[in-house]
Amino acid sequence: MSRIPKWFVPVAVIALLWNLLGCAAYLMDVMLTSEDVAKLGAAEQAMYAARPAWAVAATATAVWFGAIGCLGLVLRRRWAMPVLVLSLLGVIVQDVAIFAMMRGVTIPAAAYAMQGLVLLIAIALVWMARTGATRGWLR
């Protein structure tokens, strides 16, 4: 077992906070009332109405498994890697829903940037967990 680098746990804590923000955003999204949706702009209303239930489930998978996987990183547990892989798969399915399945819906440029960032972070977390597991940082 090699010595765990000083950056590992702080990065894992930041990643956990990031994913907890995702969980909060998911909960706010699924708890929107019809009155709340009516207050959104036309583009946001169209996106909200066009997304299939499996896309919402993919988002739930991405954020909840992401948070659990990052908790595993903070606790330095090997099970973090498969959990973070599931989170990454959720992100990918969510992205397919957003960008491939919502034809005719105008998607703001900020959504592309944010989803790109989310995907890169999810990939980095899987890499971090895999590296931690192979180098003996996770037990």
**Tens digits of per-residue pLDDT, 35-84?**
998 998 887 787 788 788 999 999 999 999 999 999 999 999 999 999 99
Q: Decide if pLDDT at 1 tops 70.
A: no
Confidence of residue 97 (pLDDT cuts 50, 70, 90): confident
Q: Decide if pLDDT at 23 tops 70.
A: yes
| 139 inside domain | no
Q: Decide if pLDDT at 25 tops 80.
A: yes
Range of the structural domain that residue 119 is part of: 8-134
| 59 inside domain | yes
What angle separates helix 8-30 from helix 109-134, to the nearest 10 degrees? 140
- AA letter at 123: I
Q: Contact, 137 vs 2, CB < 8 A?
A: yes
Say how many domains are in the chain.
1
Q: The pTM is what?
A: 0.89
User: What distance in Å separates the CA atoms of residue 79 and residue 130, rounded to the nearest whole number?
Assistant: 10
Greatest CA separation for the chain: 56
Share of the chain above pLDDT 90, in %: 71
43: CB partners within 8 A, 6+ apart: 105, 106, 107, 108
pLDDT for res 43:
75
User: What distance in Å separates the CA atoms of residue 114 and residue 55, rounded to the nearest whole number?
Assistant: 16
pLDDT for res 16:
98
| 1 inside domain | no
Q: Decide if pLDDT at 106 tops 80.
A: no
